[in-house]
């Protein structure tokens, strides 16, 4: 396992270094002098020179990159222009909101789709299966921001059951926190649910048709026991892989949802930083997101190995 993991780890570190290097060049995307654009035409030469110095733009790429990487390693990710606070502190402060949103959305999605997909596989092309297949195909065509707008309209504006915006920390008021997280989590979850259902349904149908499913049926297992205790596990690798990708790219998804529901998470931080052209925060968020992707990839691989242990114990 270590022998298989080491090259992967080195590769992951390489990927992170390249992304860190790219983020150090973000300022040059701006047409013209970044300092002039950021500070505006009324700024003095001295102010602009100072900004260039803080951003490291007065030095070459390598000193700037090494300086930033060195800072990252000791926990100094730079200082936000907008708030004047350390970037890492800003990120970690917002992180719990996004983590809760992502966890809740994925739990909701799984709770919804596993019964749907297994029910579909129970009677392939039966009425239930056809309804599920058609519904997921249609759901696949609805972008998450449309889902969010519709959910707000129906549940917050029209029915008035749930608040549309605002956030209460879980530690302060757990129930109110959940009440306010339901719609955002649904928005994020429904977008993925259609993809998950199709993946799990396909794998489960294949498993139900397998010889080992026949053997279990002949041993007198009920449909429920067969599906939940013998089909779900061998069918789940593709679902888990997708789950890994969703969690890995959750920051992108949270951008929309947090903006839509005004949740003070990482997505909101990013949107704010982008609007204010807060370069240190943008750089920090991008690098942080890349770390999440790499770590999520490794965790996914471990999860897949636990589901199908053949991959760790070698094939005969």
Task: Pick from 4, 115, 233, 262 the residue near another protein by CB under 8 A.
Answer: 233
Task: Pick from 264, 277, 299, 303 the residue near another protein by CB under 8 A.
Answer: 277
Under the binding rule (CB under 8 A), the answer on residue 286 touching another protein is: yes
- Element housing 10 (H / E): helix 2-23
124-183: which residues touch another protein (CB under 8 A)?
124-126, 137-138, 140-146, 149-150, 152-153, 157-158
Quote the least distance from Cβ 262 to another protein, whole Å. Answer: 13
Nearer to another protein, 61 or 153 (CB): 153
Quote the least distance from Cβ 314 to another protein, whole Å. Answer: 8
Task: Pick from 13, 18, 131, 135 the residue near another protein by CB under 8 A.
Answer: 18
Quote the least distance from Cβ 35 to another protein, whole Å. Answer: 13
Quote the least distance from Cβ 104 to another protein, whole Å. Answer: 20
Nearer to another protein, 54 or 259 (CB): 259
List all residues 6 or more positions away from 154 whose beta carbon is below 8 Å from its beta carbon: none
Under the binding rule (CB under 8 A), the answer on residue 220 touching another protein is: yes
Binding residue count for another protein, defined by CB under 8 A: 80
> Hey, CA dihedral for 214, 220, 223, 228, is it positive or negative?
negative
Q: How would DSSP label each residue in 72-92?
A: HHTT---B-TTT-SBHHHHHH
Q: Annotate 41-59 with b (16+ C-beta within 10 A) or e (fewer).
A: eeeeeeebeebbeebbbee
Q: Write the CA distances from 286 to 222, 252, 273, 296, integer angstroms.
A: 49, 10, 11, 15
The pair of three-digit structure tokens given for residue 306, joined into one six-digit string: 């636990």
Under the binding rule (CB under 8 A), the answer on residue 3 touching another protein is: no
Under the binding rule (CB under 8 A), the answer on residue 309 touching another protein is: yes
The pair of three-digit structure tokens given for residue 183, joined into one six-digit string: 């719609």
Q: Determine how many CB atoms are found less than 10 A away from the CB of residue 257.
A: 29
Task: Pick from 54, 83, 210, 238 the residue near another protein by CB under 8 A.
Answer: 210
DSSP 126: S
Under the binding rule (CB under 8 A), the answer on residue 200 touching another protein is: no
Under the binding rule (CB under 8 A), the answer on residue 215 touching another protein is: yes
86-125: which residues touch another protein (CB under 8 A)?
121, 123-125
44-63: which residues touch another protein (CB under 8 A)?
none
257-276: which residues touch another protein (CB under 8 A)?
259, 270-271, 274-275
Nearer to another protein, 108 or 226 (CB): 226
- Residue 201 dihedral angles phi and psi, to the nearest 5°: -60, -50
Under the binding rule (CB under 8 A), the answer on residue 241 touching another protein is: no
Q: Write the CA distances from 95 to 78, 167, 263, 267, integer angstroms.
A: 17, 14, 11, 9
Q: Which of 307, 203, 188, 163 is nearest to 246 (CA)?
A: 188
Q: Which of 27, 280, 272 is nearest to 36 (CA)?
A: 27
The pair of three-digit structure tokens given for residue 172, joined into one six-digit string: 């302060």
Under the binding rule (CB under 8 A), the answer on residue 256 touching another protein is: yes
């Amino acid at each position: 396992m270590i022998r298989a993991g080491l090259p992967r780890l080195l590769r992951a570190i390489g990927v992170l270094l390249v992304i860190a290097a790219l983020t150090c060049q973000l300022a040059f995307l701006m047409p013209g002098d970044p300092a002039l654009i950021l500070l505006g035409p009324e700024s003095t030469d001295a102010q602009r020179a100072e900004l260039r110095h803080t951003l490291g733009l007065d030095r070459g790429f390598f000193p700037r990159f090494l300086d930033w990487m060195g800072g990252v390693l000791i926990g100094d990710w730079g200082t936000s222009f907008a708030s004047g606070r350390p970037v890492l502190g800003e990120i970690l402060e917002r992180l719990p909101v996004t983590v809760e949103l992502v966890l809740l959305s994925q739990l909701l999605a799984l709770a919804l789709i596993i019964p749907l997909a297994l029910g579909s596989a129970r009677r392939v092309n039966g009425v239930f299966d056809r309804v599920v297949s058609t519904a997921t195909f249609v759901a696949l065509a609805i972008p998450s921001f449309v889902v969010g707008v519709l959910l707000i309209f129906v549940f917050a504006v029209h029915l008035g059951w749930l608040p549309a915006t605002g956030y209460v920390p879980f530690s302060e008021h757990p129930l109110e926190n959940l009440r306010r997280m339901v719609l955002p989590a649904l928005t994020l979850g429904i977008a993925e649910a259609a993809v998950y259902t199709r993946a799990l349904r396909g794998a489960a149908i294949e498993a139900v048709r397998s010889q080992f499913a026949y053997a279990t049926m002949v041993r007198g297992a009920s449909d429920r026991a067969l599906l939940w205790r013998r089909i779900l596990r061998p069918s789940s690798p593709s679902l888990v892989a997708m789950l890994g990708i969703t969690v890995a790219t959750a920051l992108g998804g949270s951008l929309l949802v947090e903006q839509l529901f005004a949740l003070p998470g990482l997505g909101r931080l990013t949107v704010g930083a982008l609007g204010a052209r807060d370069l240190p925060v943008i750089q920090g968020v991008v690098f942080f997101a890349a770390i999440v992707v790499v770590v999520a990839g490794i965790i996914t691989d471990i999860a897949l190995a636990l589901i199908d242990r053949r991959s760790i114990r070698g094939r005969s």
